C-alpha cells in the first residue's frame, strides 16, 4: 500500500451510487480527463514562471500520472498520488512537482469561481472545454468535490450545474451531457452508417451507429411494432438546455415491450385527473423507489408483468400465465401489497398480504409464488 501521507488529490464523490464507498467504472474516465486538465494547467504555469522558455522541458508530463491507491468511506473518496513511471521515491520526486501542486490549487480555484457564479478571465477557454468530459457521467444530485476539507462554504464542487456554467462561459455556447433515452428507430442509412430516432415528439437523424449495427437493424426491421430501444449516448445541448444533437453512442438495447422502467416513467407523467377527471397523480419518488426494488429483487427468469395505475394513485401488476390470472396491488405510500392468484379453470384462488416490499424476504415470497407457474 502506498503512503497515504503523499496523497495529491482526494476528491469526495457524493450521491447514492457512492454510498457503498465504491466508484462506477464510467466515473474513472472523468478522473483521466481531470489528469489531462491538471497537466495542461501545470504546463502553462511553468511557461509563465520561466518566460525564457518557449516550451516545457522534454518529458515534463510524459512520465508522470495520477495513481489511485485507495478509496476511503464518506460516500466515496478516491485517494490519488502523483506518481512517476520511473518509480522515483517521493523525497526524490522531480522538482516539477511544484508546478503540478500549483495546478491543483488553480483548478480548485476555477471550480470555486463557478460555484460563486464569478468566473474570472484567467479561467481560460481551453481549460473550460475539458468540462465537456469532466462530470459528463454524473447523474442528478451527484457531485465530485475537489476540496472537501475546505472550511469555506465553497469546496470546488463539480456537478451538472457548475460544469454547465463553466462550459457556457466560454466562446462555445453548447455543452455535452450523457443522456439515457428510450426511442423508436424510424430510419437507417447503411451507406452513411447512420440512423434516426423518434422520442418525446422529437426526431433526430444522422446518428452514427458505429458498432451497434445489428441492434439498430433489428429495431428498424421491426419498425411496424415500434419497439423501443434504450440508448446511452453523448448529447449536445444549447444554453437553453435544448438537445441539439446526439453523438458518441455508448450502448443500444432493444427493450422488452413490458419493460418496467419505461412503463413506470409513463405512469409518472400522468396528470391529476388522468381518468375522465378522476385518478390521482402517482408519486414519482415512490415509483422510483419501487422501480429500484423491483430491479433489485424480482427474479429476471419470471415473465414481466403488465403495470396499470389505479384511481387511488397506486399501481397494479398483472400476469396471465396459462389459466392463471395473477395480480399484485401495490400501495405506493407504504409499499405494502396484496397478491392474488386466480385459477380460471376452477375458480380457486390464493391471497397473500405483503407488509413491506423494502424487505428482500417479501420479494422472495413473490418470486416463489411465480416460480410455481414457470413455463
pTM across the whole model: 0.76
The DSSP bridge partners found for residue 178 are 234
How far apart CA 121 and CA 184 sit, in angstroms, is: 44
Inter-residue contact 325 to 342 (CB < 8 Å): yes
Query: For 152, how many CA atoms within 13 A lie in the half-sphere containing its CB?
Result: 14
pLDDT averages per 10-residue partition of the chain, 375 residues? 72 92 90 95 94 86 85 90 66 70 96 95 95 92 95 95 94 90 95 94 93 95 93 93 92 92 92 92 95 94 95 96 94 96 91 95 95 77
C-alpha 241/C-alpha 296 separation (Å) is 32
**What is the spatial distance between Cα 209 and Cα 193, in angstroms, rounded to a whole number?**
6
Calpha distance 280→199 (Å, rounded) = 26
CA atoms within 13 A on the CB side of 247: 6
Residue 82's pLDDT is what?
87
Residue 168 corresponds to which cell in the numbers above?
Answer: 457556457
Q: What pLDDT was estimated at residue 74? A: 81
Amino acid at each position: 500500500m502506498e503512503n497515504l501521507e503523499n496523497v495529491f488529490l482526494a476528491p469526495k464523490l457524493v450521491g447514492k451510487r457512492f454510498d457503498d464507498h465504491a466508484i462506477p467504472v464510467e466515473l474513472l474516465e472523468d478522473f483521466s480527463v481531470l489528469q489531462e486538465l491538471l497537466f495542461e494547467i501545470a504546463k502553462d504555469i511553468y511557461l509563465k514562471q520561466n518566460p525564457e522558455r518557449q516550451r516545457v522541458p522534454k518529458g515534463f508530463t510524459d512520465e508522470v500520472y495520477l495513481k489511485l491507491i485507495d478509496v476511503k468511506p464518506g460516500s466515496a473518496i478516491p485517494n490519488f498520488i502523483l506518481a512517476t513511471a520511473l518509480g522515483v521515491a517521493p523525497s526524490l520526486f522531480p522538482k516539477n512537482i511544484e508546478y503540478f501542486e500549483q495546478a491543483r490549487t488553480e483548478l480548485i480555484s476555477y471550480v470555486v469561481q463557478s460555484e460563486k457564479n464569478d468566473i474570472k478571465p484567467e479561467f481560460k477557454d481551453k481549460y473550460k472545454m475539458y468540462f465537456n468530459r469532466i462530470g459528463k457521467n454524473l447523474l442528478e444530485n451527484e457531485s465530485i468535490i475537489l476540496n472537501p476539507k475546505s472550511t469555506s462554504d465553497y469546496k470546488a464542487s463539480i456537478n451538472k450545474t457548475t460544469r454547465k456554467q463553466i462550459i457556457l462561459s466560454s466562446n462555445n455556447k453548447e455543452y455535452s451531457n450523457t443522456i439515457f433515452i428510450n426511442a423508436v428507430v424510424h430510419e437507417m442509412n447503411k451507406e452513411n452508417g447512420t440512423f434516426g430516432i423518434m422520442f418525446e415528439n422529437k426526431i433526430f437523424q444522422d446518428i452514427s451507429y458505429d458498432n451497434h449495427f445489428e441492434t439498430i437493424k433489428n429495431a428498424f426491421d421491426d419498425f411496424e411494432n415500434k419497439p423501443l430501444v434504450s440508448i446511452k449516448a453523448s448529447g449536445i445541448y444549447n444554453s437553453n438546455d435544448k438537445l441539439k444533437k446526439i453523438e458518441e453512442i455508448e450502448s443500444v438495447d432493444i427493450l422488452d415491450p413490458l419493460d418496467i422502467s419505461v412503463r413506470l416513467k409513463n405512469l409518472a407523467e400522468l396528470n391529476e385527473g388522468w381518468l375522465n377527471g378522476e385518478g390521482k397523480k402517482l408519486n414519482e419518488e415512490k415509483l422510483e423507489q419501487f422501480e429500484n426494488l423491483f430491479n433489485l429483487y424480482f427474479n429476471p427468469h419470471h415473465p414481466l408483468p403488465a403495470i396499470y395505475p389505479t384511481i387511488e394513485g397506486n399501481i397494479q401488476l398483472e400476469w396471465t400465465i396459462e389459466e392463471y390470472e395473477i395480480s399484485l396491488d401495490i400501495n405506493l405510500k407504504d409499499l405494502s401489497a396484496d397478491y392474488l392468484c386466480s385459477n380460471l379453470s376452477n375458480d380457486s384462488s390464493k391471497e397473500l398480504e405483503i407488509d413491506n416490499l423494502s424487505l428482500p424476504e417479501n420479494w422472495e415470497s413473490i418470486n416463489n409464488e411465480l416460480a410455481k407457474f414457470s413455463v
